[in-house]
Amino acid sequence: MANGGKPMQTKNKILIAAVSIIVIVGVALGVYFGVRNNKDSSNHESNNSIGGIPSSSAVPTPTAAPPPPPAQNGTMINGTLFPYYNGLTGQVPATVGIPGMVYTNCVTPNTFSISFDDGPSNYTNELLDLLDKENLKVTFFVNGDNTGCIYEPDVQKVLKRAFRAGHQIASHTWSHPMLTTLSVDAITTEMTRLEKALMDILGVIPRYMRPPFGDGTFGGVGNANDQKVQSTLKNLGYVITTWDIATKDADVDDNLQQHKLSDTELQAVVQKEITSVVESNPKGATHMELMHDTYMRTVRLTAPWSINYIKNLGYKIVPVATCLGDADPRNWYKNIGPPAASTPTTCPPK
């Protein structure tokens, strides 16, 4: 038995060795052809690409979907964006201000309106910085061609800034004339020329206006309650707003040498004008205060002091229309539409 087992063991060893050789050869061949195939595939891909970028026949690599556009800040109305005011949708509330009516005080309890006439000017941007800091909205009664031409690029820019910040833009006529001295046609032209400019630049036509000097509304200047002026403005759809507090900044402005006052003297005059009216009325009585953004010391001295004084009395400072009950900015304007694609950069000769 022992001698018969040796040949069997030898055959087994040979068989095992043969199988091992076959396995090794198979693995080697697999590795070789696998590398070759990968190389051929790489060469094929490079031959179908330009500058390392796969050709259009290559399967594109999936990319992440672009982020959604940011929510629009404001409300688009008839082609004009009201950037500061979101959610101006649905039916427009009934207007409160009555065309042709002259308003001297606010009617909404606990409100105090601040307004600025005759601009925009070189100081309006600085005033807007202050109002932004205080988070306040006011009314700008603007002219078309008074201290500067409304079509000048810098003036258009500051006017758009005021509108986009949520301030009310109202009419102060085209050239700041005494309306009682004009014919009905001339008054109409004063108003419609500014209407066209504001529609071109902003896409709005105001419903609210203030006669220069209060002419046609107050006694002592022109004719009080002038029917020609008031009926013409009524027919044009304008709510007439004046004031019960005039700061007299125009009378003592530092540009008028005959009224030259020091800063301390100016502030004493202005503060007395404001406090005397407020203190002579019942507590909480509403007021409309007039200033001018055309004067440096109004912007740098009068406006900051006035804002602080009014806030400390507990009033809410609002635009003129809001204090009269028209809080929805859509009611501040009698026409809203897309602004002009391009506008002039100068005013026509006077």
Q: Which residues are catalytic?
A: 117, 292
Q: What is 197-247 written as a DSSP string? A: HHHHHTSEEESEE--GGGTTTSTTSS-TT-HHHHHHHHHTTPEEE--SEE-
- CA angle 30-31-34, nearest 5°? 80
Task: Determine contact, residues 278/320, Cβ cutoff 8 Å.
Answer: no
Task: Determine contact, residues 139/176, Cβ cutoff 8 Å.
Answer: no
Task: Determine contact, residues 143/185, Cβ cutoff 8 Å.
Answer: no
Cβ-count burial of 42 within 10 angstroms (0-12 exposed, 13-18 middle, 19+ buried)? exposed
Q: How far apart are CA 298 and CA 250, in angstroms?
A: 9
Of residues 94, 141, 142, the one with CA closest to residue 113:
141
